[in-house]
């Protein structure tokens, strides 16, 4: 039986639909975002499977020749948004940004394929998307794995999806912001500054954009010389899971050679992921590959080890102990930063708030690993947050109030795909 929240979630997706792609929130984010679209497709699949596939197909229309998939596609100009296509200056058609985002698309396509009612009708679309997905995964292996450990090295905090996580504070200190100049942000004209990244953080973001632009968006050079290069625990775990899901699709399509290649990607990551284990912190943490220093922060991304299929009995028990401790410090799981960390801020973007999409990944991983009670807890908390506050960008883990933008597409999608279910 359809509820009022079900109807409202559909209205949000349809209202943010721009014909083939969906904006996260019309006022703050007026373009197509990479991992947002992947999650949005899961929401559309609950009532329109064709539209769900089209969301991903539209995203991959902006893929670069080397397999790189940008984090923003500027399908239409919006003069009020900063930094817009003129700032990025990637020289692409359609205009895009010059950085990527967490590669959840292959996992989403596997889910859409599993749910496809008419496999015969959707198989040609799967056949068409498969080589594009594989090209993106190859790009990560060839360009963003300088250590050869199957890890993803991020060259911009925006790539991680967790823009202002404290994980990036120390690695960002070396970024020269002296040439950034004056600019007008759009986010703080629509949202309270208390929930957004600071001016210093934004200066650093823009300095990195300027660096990339100065190379002509030479991705190989950026990967070697960029002042910010961090092995991101979130992107690494998401790519490992995505490689597993793409392998399942390769086997489904009878692509034996590609399946063997993906198995090698997976084996490399499984062997190398221990590099992100911080023995002192007893958690998976991001690591600066320039200095070799662990971030030492326990974030929501740390718990994606279960989602990635990383199995290590001792470390898994340590992560479950971290989960239990955090559950005792916050009313709602999963805060984006350990609530006992001195820098915890319950309403500032990725320094505390709960995000429905990350909760979905965490709960999926916990369920897959057999930790069903914790998976149910994460889902219940997500459902309670949405029922209590509505479809916000994120939520305070202490009070449950919504933070960031309202009528948010990926939160509506998570409700329809996952959170509303018992």
Residues marked as catalytic: 163, 393
Task: Please report where in the chains the tokens 């062997």 appear, as a residue.
Answer: 271
Dihedral, CA of residue 103, residue 161, residue 402 and residue 283, to nearest 10:
90
Within 176-232, strands assigned E span: 230-231
Tokens of 11: 């209205």
Chain centroid to Cα 1, Å, comes to: 31
Chain centroid to Cα 299, Å, comes to: 14
Q: How many CB atoms lie within 10 A of CB 342?
A: 6
Dihedral, CA of residue 276, residue 279, residue 280 and residue 286, to nearest 10:
10
End-to-end Cα, the chain, rounded Å:
13
Dihedral, CA of residue 130, residue 135, residue 139 and residue 140, to nearest 10:
10
Task: Please report where in the chains the tokens 């039986």 appear, as a residue.
Answer: 1
Q: How far apart are CA 57 and CA 44, in angstroms?
A: 14
CA atoms 114, 119, 125, 131: torsion sign: positive
Distances (CA, A) of 299 to 304, 330, 387: 10, 13, 25
Task: Let me know: does 278 contact 284? Beta carbons within 8 Å.
Answer: yes
- Cα angle 70, 75, 76; round to 5: 140
3-state secondary structure at position 17: strand
3-state secondary structure at position 347: coil
Closest CA to 153 of 59, 276, 34, 266: 276
């Amino acid at each position: 039986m359809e509820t009022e929240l079900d109807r409202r979630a559909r209205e949000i997706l349809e209202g943010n639909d721009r014909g083939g792609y969906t904006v996260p929130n019309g006022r703050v984010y007026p373009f197509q975002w990479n991992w947002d679209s992947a999650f949005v497709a899961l929401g559309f699949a609950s009532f329109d499977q064709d539209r769900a596939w089209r969301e991903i197909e539209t995203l991959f229309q902006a893929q670069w020749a080397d397999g790189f998939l940008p984090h923003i596609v500027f399908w239409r100009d919006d003069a009020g948004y900063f930094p817009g296509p003129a700032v990025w200056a990637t020289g692409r058609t359609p205009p895009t940004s010059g950085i990527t985002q967490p590669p959840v698309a292959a996992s989403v396509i596997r889910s859409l394929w599993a749910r496809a009612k008419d496999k015969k009708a959707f198989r040609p679309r799967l056949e068409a998307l498969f080589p594009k997905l594989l090209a993106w995964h190859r790009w990560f292996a060839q360009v963003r794995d300088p250590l050869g450990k199957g890890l993803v090295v991020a060259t911009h905090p925006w790539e991680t999806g967790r823009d202002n996580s404290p994980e990036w504070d120390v690695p960002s200190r070396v970024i020269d912001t002296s040439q950034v100049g004056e600019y007008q942000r759009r986010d703080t004209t629509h949202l309270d500054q208390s929930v957004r990244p600071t001016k210093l953080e934004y200066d650093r973001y823009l300095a990195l954009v300027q660096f990339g632009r100065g190379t002509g968006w030479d991705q190989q050079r950026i990967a070697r010389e960029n002042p910010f290069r961090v092995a991101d625990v979130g992107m690494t775990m998401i790519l490992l899971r995505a490689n597993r899901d793409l392998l399942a699709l390769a086997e489904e399509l009878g692509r034996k050679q590609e399946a063997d290649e993906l198995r090698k990607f997976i084996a490399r990551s499984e062997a190398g992921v221990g590099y992100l284990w911080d023995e002192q912190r007893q958690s998976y943490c991001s690591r600066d590959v320039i200095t070799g220093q662990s971030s030492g922060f326990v974030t929501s991304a740390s718990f994606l080890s279960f989602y990635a299929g990383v199995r290590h009995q001792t470390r898994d028990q340590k992560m479950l102990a971290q989960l239990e401790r955090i559950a005792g410090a916050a009313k709602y799981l999963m805060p984006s930063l350990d609530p006992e960390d001195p820098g915890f801020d319950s309403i500032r973007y990725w320094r505390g708030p709960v995000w429905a999409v990350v909760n979905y990944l965490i709960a999926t991983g916990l369920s897959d690993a057999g930790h069903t009670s914790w998976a149910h807890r994460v889902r219940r908390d997500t459902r309670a947050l949405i029922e209590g506050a509505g479809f916000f960008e994120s939520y305070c883990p202490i009070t449950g109030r919504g933070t960031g933008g309202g009528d948010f597409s990926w939160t509506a999608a998570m409700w329809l795909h996952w959170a509303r279910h018992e």
